[in-house]
Structure 1
Amino acid sequence: MGIGSLNRPRWLVATLLLWSFLACNFSSAGTPVTLIAHESVNVDKLNTSTLRAIFSLRKRSWENQTPIKVFVLPDNHPLHKNFCKTVLKIYPYVLRDQWDRVIFSGVGTPPTTVKDIEELRRLVTSTPGAIGYAPGELSVNKQQYYAIVPTGLQP
């Protein structure tokens, strides 16, 4: 048994770990995210910092004083993870920590967590002041809700 045979399993394990890491990262980042909002919401001036304030529950009302109602998918949903990383530019656990601070301090209410994308879409379209997100390939009916692709958002 030479030294090369001892290193081969380590090399193989390292290669497999690297491939699994890359597969996990690209699989969650592969789905484009579209921000959706109720038709009563003016979404023209939303940027990354405003979206962070909205989704971290620090901004509680729109400019017209309509309360903001945030709808999200479960923390472990791939689209939620992708939304946090690509649009909000924070990790999902950081967003969860921010929610917990606001909720446990008594100054805010948690976002509404829905079970799937269709329920999220339905609730956003029927709730004044609502905001959420959906896959980018979702068909958009402009009469029910606005959709913006957040790739052009400014920090």
Structure 2
Amino acid sequence: MKYALTLFSLLMVSFTSSANVSIITHAENTLTLSNDVIERIFLGKQKTLPSGHTIVPITMEEALEDQQTFNSTVLNKSSSQLKAYWSKLIFTGKGTPPKAVSTKDEMLELISTNPNMIGYVVGAVENHNVNVVATY
């Protein structure tokens, strides 16, 4: 029994860590973004695309595992590091964190109906009204 639990735990860790993160935009946006540009957008350092169009990042709520996966995979930051980062920007008046949604479906709906927004999905993207611009 002990070995079965250990094996199950190892399988769950490998399954969780293999989840991919897809950066998504509106289906009409057929662009490719570098990792640096994506990071800058989600950290509030860049508010326009290289084309000059305004871009608004959307993230998942802080307590959700998808947001933690995004933070570590894409931004290379822990949730506590990101919280400290945004607290400093808010305190100094130099930025506000991205709007947060609570479900994958809400993210897909918001991105598919707003050409100026960018977000992410952990796992498979099953909505054809969005364009995957990068995968991690």
- TM-score band by shorter chain is 0.7 to 0.9
Partner of 2:74: 87
User: Could you list the per-position Cα deviations for residues 115-143 of structure 1 after superposition, in whole angstroms to 9, with x for gaps in the alignment?
Assistant: 111111111111222111113312141xx
State the number of aligned residues. Answer: 132
Residue identity in the other structure for 1:32? N
**Change in CA separation of 1:34 and 1:126 when aligned onto 2, cut-off 3 Å:** same
Equivalent of 1:136, from 111, 123, 128? 123
Partner of 2:94: 107
**Change in CA separation of 1:104 and 1:43 when aligned onto 2, cut-off 3 Å:** farther
RMSD: 2.8
TM-score computed with the length of structure 2 as normaliser? 0.77
The structure with higher relative contact order (CA 8 Å, sep 6+) is 2
Identify the structure with the greater helix proportion. Answer: 1
User: For the Cα contact (< 8 Å) 1:41–1:62, is it kept in 2?
Assistant: no
Fraction of identical pairs, as percent: 22
Unaligned stretches of 5+ residues in structure 1: 1-17
Identify the structure with the greater strand proportion. Answer: 2
Q: Distance in 2 between matches of 1:37 and 1:124?
A: 6
Q: Distance in 2 between matches of 1:150 and 1:94?
A: 23
Greater Rg over alpha carbons, structure: 1
TM-score computed with the length of structure 1 as normaliser? 0.69
**Change in CA separation of 1:25 and 1:93 when aligned onto 2, cut-off 3 Å:** farther
